[in-house]
Structure 1
Amino acid sequence: MSEVVHYGRQGRVAVISIDSPPVNALGQAVRQGLLDLIARAQGDDEVDAVVLTGKGKAFSAGADIREFGKPALPPSLPDVINAIEASGKPVIAAINGVALGGGLELALGCHYRVAGPFASLGLPEVKLGLIPGAGGTVRLPRLAGARAAIDIITAGDPLKAEAAEAAGIVDRIAEGDVVAAALQVLEEGVTGRRTRDLAVDAKAETFAEARAAIAKRSRGLVSPLACVDAIEGAATLPFDEALAKERSLFLSCLASPQRAGLVHAFFAPREAAKVPGIGPDVKPRKVETVGVIGAGTMGGGIAMCFANADIPVTLLEMKAEALERGLATIRANYEATRAKGRMTAEEIETRMALIRPSLDYADLAGADLVIEAAFESMAVKHDIFGTLDLVCKPGAVLATNTSTLSIDEIAAATGRPQDVVGMHFFSPANVMKLLENVRGKATAPDVQATVMEVARRIGKVGVMVGVCYGFVGNRILHARNREAIALVNEGASPQQVDKALTDFGFAMGPFATSDLAGLDVGWRIREERRKANDPEVDAPNWLDTLAEKGRFGQKTRAGIYRYEAGSRAPIPDAETDALIAAYRAAQGIAPRAVDETEIVERCMFMMVNEGARILEEGIAARASDIDVVWLNGYGFPAFRGGPMFWGQQHGLDRVLAGIDAFHARLGTKPWQAAPLLRRLVAEGRGF
Structure 2
Amino acid sequence: MSNFVSVTRDGGVAVVIIDNPPVNALSFHVREPLMQALVSLRDEPDVAAIVIACAGRTFVAGADITEFGKPVQQPDLRAIIAVLETIAKPTVAAIHGTALGGGLELALGCHFRVADAGARLGLPEVKLGLLPGGGGTVRLPRLVGPLKALRMIVSGTPIDAAEALAAGLVDAVFDGDLAARAVRFASKMAGQDGPLAPVRDRNSRLDPADLPDFDRQAAELAKKARGLEAPIACAQSVRNAITLPFEAALAAERELFVKLVEGDQSRAQRHLFFAEREAAKVGAKDIVRRKIARVGVVGAGTMGGGIAMAFANGGFPVTVMETSREALERGLTTIDKNYAVSVSRGSLSEDAKQQRVGLFKGSTNYADLADCDLIVEAVFEEMAVKKEVFSRLDAVARPGAILATNTSYLDVNEIAASTSRPQDVVGMHFFSPANVMKLLEIVRAEKTAPDALATIAELARRIGKVPVVVGVCHGFVGNRMLSARGAESETLLLESATPQQIDRVFTDFGWPMGPFQMGDLAGLDIGWRNRKARGQTAVIADALCEQGHFGQKTGRGFYLYENGSRSPAPNPEVEALIRDKAADQGIAPRAIGAKEIIERTLYPMINEGAKILEEGIAARASDIDVVWVNGYGFPVGKGGPMFWAGLEGLDKIIGRLGHWHQRTGKDIFRVAPLLRQAAETGSWEGKSMA
| TM score, norm. by length of structure 1 | 0.95
Matched, 1:434 2:432: no
Aligned to 1:496: 501
Aligned to 1:543: 541
Aligned to 1:578: 576
Q: Contact conserved, 1:114 with 1:171, CA < 8 A, in 2?
A: yes
**2:357 counterpart (345, 352, 363):** 352
**1:678 counterpart (664, 676, 680):** 676
1:602-613 to 2 correspondences below 5 Å:
602-613=600-611
Show structure 2 runs of 5+ residues with no match: none
Q: Contact conserved, 2:404 with 2:428, CA < 8 A, in 1?
A: yes
Distance between the aligned counterparts of 2:564 and 2:371, measured in 1? Answer: 43
Q: Contact conserved, 2:31 with 2:77, CA < 8 A, in 1?
A: yes
Q: Which moved more, 1:174-183 or 1:347-356?
A: 174-183
Question: 1:583: Cα distance to partner?
Answer: 1.4
Distance between the aligned counterparts of 1:408 and 1:37, measured in 2? Answer: 60
1:143-542 to 2 correspondences below 5 Å:
143-176=143-176, 177=178, 178-189=181-192, 192-199=196-203, 200-202=206-208, 203-275=210-282, 278-530=283-535, 537=536, 539-542=537-540
Question: 1:374: Cα distance to partner?
Answer: 1.0
Measured against aligned partners, the alpha-carbon deviations of 1:437-480 in whole angstroms (never above 9, x if no partner) come to 11111212122122212212222111110011100010011111
Distance between the aligned counterparts of 1:47 and 1:93, measured in 2? Answer: 16
Question: 1:345: Cα distance to partner?
Answer: 3.2
Question: 1:556: Cα distance to partner?
Answer: 0.9
Query: Residue 580 and residue 22 in structure 1: after superposition, are their counterparts in 2 closer, same or farther (change >3 A)?
Result: same
Q: Which moved more, 1:251-260 or 1:206-215?
A: 206-215
Letter in structure 2 aligned against 1:219: R
Partner secondary structure for residue 455 of structure 1: helix
Aligned to 1:555: 553
Aligned to 2:137: 137
Aligned to 1:72: 72
Distance between the aligned counterparts of 1:113 and 1:572, measured in 2? Answer: 56
Measured against aligned partners, the alpha-carbon deviations of 1:160-182 in whole angstroms (never above 9, x if no partner) come to 11211222221222354242343
Letter in structure 2 aligned against 1:172: A
Q: Contact conserved, 1:154 with 1:227, CA < 8 A, in 2?
A: yes
Partner secondary structure for residue 591 of structure 2: coil
Letter in structure 2 aligned against 1:185: K
1:26-175 to 2 correspondences below 5 Å:
26-175=26-175
Question: 1:111: Cα distance to partner?
Answer: 1.6
Show structure 1 runs of 5+ residues with no match: 531-536
Distance between the aligned counterparts of 2:349 and 2:681, measured in 1? Answer: 59
Question: 1:429: Cα distance to partner?
Answer: 0.8
Distance between the aligned counterparts of 2:243 and 2:170, measured in 1? Answer: 24
Partner secondary structure for residue 484 of structure 2: helix
Q: Which moved more, 1:666-675 or 1:55-64?
A: 55-64
Question: 1:595: Cα distance to partner?
Answer: 0.9
Distance between the aligned counterparts of 1:230 and 1:220, measured in 2? Answer: 18
Distance between the aligned counterparts of 1:41 and 1:591, measured in 2? Answer: 78
Query: Residue 187 and residue 681 in structure 1: after superposition, are their counterparts in 2 closer, same or farther (change >3 A)?
Result: closer
Q: Contact conserved, 1:258 with 1:640, CA < 8 A, in 2?
A: yes
Measured against aligned partners, the alpha-carbon deviations of 1:188-229 in whole angstroms (never above 9, x if no partner) come to 516641122222234231453234212211120111111122
Aligned to 2:657: 659
Question: 1:308: Cα distance to partner?
Answer: 1.8
Measured against aligned partners, the alpha-carbon deviations of 1:492-514 in whole angstroms (never above 9, x if no partner) come to 10111111111111111111111
Distance between the aligned counterparts of 1:96 and 1:285, measured in 2? Answer: 31
Partner secondary structure for residue 469 of structure 1: coil
Q: Contact conserved, 1:372 with 1:401, CA < 8 A, in 2?
A: yes
Q: Which moved more, 1:182-191 or 1:69-78?
A: 182-191
Q: Which moved more, 1:68-77 or 1:576-585?
A: 68-77
Query: Residue 352 and residue 120 in structure 1: after superposition, are their counterparts in 2 closer, same or farther (change >3 A)?
Result: closer
Query: Residue 396 and residue 550 in structure 1: after superposition, are their counterparts in 2 closer, same or farther (change >3 A)?
Result: same
Distance between the aligned counterparts of 1:194 and 1:360, measured in 2? Answer: 66
Q: Contact conserved, 1:114 with 1:181, CA < 8 A, in 2?
A: no
Query: Residue 482 and residue 312 in structure 1: after superposition, are their counterparts in 2 closer, same or farther (change >3 A)?
Result: same
Question: 1:63: Cα distance to partner?
Answer: 0.4
Question: 1:434: Cα distance to partner?
Answer: 0.9
Partner secondary structure for residue 492 of structure 2: helix
Aligned to 1:534: none
Measured against aligned partners, the alpha-carbon deviations of 1:40-82 in whole angstroms (never above 9, x if no partner) come to 1122122233222222332211202343443211111111100
Q: Contact conserved, 1:142 with 1:201, CA < 8 A, in 2?
A: no
Letter in structure 1 aligned against 2:198: R
Partner secondary structure for residue 59 of structure 1: coil
Q: Contact conserved, 2:440 with 2:466, CA < 8 A, in 1?
A: yes
Q: Contact conserved, 2:89 with 2:190, CA < 8 A, in 1?
A: no
Would you say how many aligned residue pairs link Structure 1 and Structure 2?
Answer: 678
Question: 1:184: Cα distance to partner?
Answer: 4.2
Q: Contact conserved, 2:28 with 2:74, CA < 8 A, in 1?
A: yes
Query: Residue 444 and residue 541 in structure 1: after superposition, are their counterparts in 2 closer, same or farther (change >3 A)?
Result: same
Distance between the aligned counterparts of 1:644 and 1:149, measured in 2? Answer: 35
Partner secondary structure for residue 362 of structure 2: strand
Distance between the aligned counterparts of 1:367 and 1:12, measured in 2? Answer: 58
Distance between the aligned counterparts of 2:18 and 2:398, measured in 1? Answer: 51
Moved segments of 4+, more than 4 Å: none
Percent identity among equivalent residues? 53
Aligned to 1:597: 595
Distance between the aligned counterparts of 2:418 and 2:167, measured in 1? Answer: 60
Partner secondary structure for residue 512 of structure 1: helix
Letter in structure 2 aligned against 1:61: A
Partner secondary structure for residue 208 of structure 1: helix
Question: 1:684: Cα distance to partner?
Answer: 4.0
Q: Contact conserved, 1:94 with 1:182, CA < 8 A, in 2?
A: no
Partner secondary structure for residue 16 of structure 1: strand
Measured against aligned partners, the alpha-carbon deviations of 1:518-570 in whole angstroms (never above 9, x if no partner) come to 0111101111122xxxxxx3x34110111111111111111111113342111
Distance between the aligned counterparts of 1:399 and 1:543, measured in 2? Answer: 32
Q: Contact conserved, 2:89 with 2:196, CA < 8 A, in 1?
A: no
Letter in structure 2 aligned against 1:630: W
Query: Residue 340 and residue 551 in structure 1: after superposition, are their counterparts in 2 closer, same or farther (change >3 A)?
Result: same
Letter in structure 2 aligned against 1:481: G
Partner secondary structure for residue 356 of structure 1: strand
Question: What's the RMSD between the two structures over aligned residues?
Answer: 1.7
Letter in structure 2 aligned against 1:247: R
Partner secondary structure for residue 227 of structure 1: helix
Q: Contact conserved, 1:546 with 1:559, CA < 8 A, in 2?
A: yes
Q: Contact conserved, 1:95 with 1:119, CA < 8 A, in 2?
A: yes
Question: 1:351: Cα distance to partner?
Answer: 2.2
Q: Contact conserved, 1:295 with 1:316, CA < 8 A, in 2?
A: yes
Q: Which moved more, 1:438-447 or 1:173-182?
A: 173-182
